[in-house]
Amino acid sequence: MRNTEHLPWFPALLKTAEGEVLAEGSACVSSETKDVTFQSDFVPLYPVGTPLEIVRLSEAREIHRFFGKVYLSDKTLLRLVSVTDRTPPDGEQLYCSGLAFSGTLTVMGESEQTPRRRFGRKPSKAQAAPAELLVPIVSLSENRLIFLYDSARPFDRGQRFSLSANMPLLLPQTTIEVEQAFLFGVNASYLCRFLDLTAAEKDVLLYFLLEYSLRQSAEPATGGAPSSL
């Protein structure tokens, strides 16, 4: 049996494909093999290939669902493979905050931008930003991120950047677009959405965030925690 001791575990429910709760216990996700393992004091036995569901819980709230087929089943442990996943329909998504990551942004040319009003600043008073800049990435989800930058050089809503992220994940160079800005203090916070990540790349990012948030939750003194973005 593959060793799962090094993986972070989270509270979880085991359910049938129809949504009936079978057991309450804990689970872990392997981002490498894309399988989900569930363990409890007692787990019902199911034949290989049976479709089941494992649901991640946070304060008794269902925040992430994993659907797959039984690969391994015994009295205390069950593993699903061929897993697909989704977040609840309320729009809340897993993300990490208080990150120590950074990214290199290349400002896209003015010819590629639609003229926009600056966030709370008059364009004539704004200083021009360099074409390439290194910024801290402080929050991240599979769809969005927040970075910080000098408030004296504000960006427009709709401003696009080419992003090369510096993090323990092989995230390809991608395009982001500013959705909101918060101009308070020395550094402005920019909420941006990813424009061209593929479904497979978002899947890799989601599994990375899942493992990262669980590890950070186990070490609260070191930083981020799961929430919504």
Q: What is the pTM of this model?
A: 0.57
CA separation for the pair 20, 43 (Å, rounded): 14
Instruction: Name all contacts of 219-226 with Cβ < 8 Å and 24+ positions apart.
Output: 223/98, 223/99, 223/100, 224/96, 224/97, 224/98, 224/99, 225/96, 225/97, 225/98, 226/58, 226/63, 226/94, 226/95, 226/96
| Terminal CA-CA length for the chain | 37
Backbone angles phi, psi at 114, to 5 degrees: -85, 130
225's tokens: 């925690």
CA separation for the pair 73, 61 (Å, rounded): 26
Domain range annotation of the chain: 10-86, 95-194
The b/e string for 185-194 (b: 16+ C-beta within 10 A; e otherwise) is eebbbbbbeb
Class of 95-194 in CATH: mainly beta
Q: Which residue has the tokens 């991120």?
A: 145
Element counts in the chain: helices (H) and strands (E): 1, 12
CA 221 to chain centre: 20
Amino acid of residue 36:
V
CA separation for the pair 196, 152 (Å, rounded): 29
Amino acid of residue 146:
I
Each residue's pLDDT, cut to its tens digit, for the chain (229 residues) gives 555 666 778 899 999 999 999 999 999 888 677 799 999 999 999 999 999 999 988 777 787 788 999 999 999 999 999 988 776 544 445 567 677 789 999 998 654 444 443 444 444 444 555 678 899 998 888 888 889 998 888 898 899 999 998 887 777 889 999 998 877 667 888 989 999 999 888 888 888 887 777 776 666 443 433 333 5
Q: Would you give the DSSP letter of residue 130?
A: P
CA separation for the pair 229, 215 (Å, rounded): 19
CA angle 128, 195, 118 (to 5 degrees): 30
Amino acid of residue 156:
D
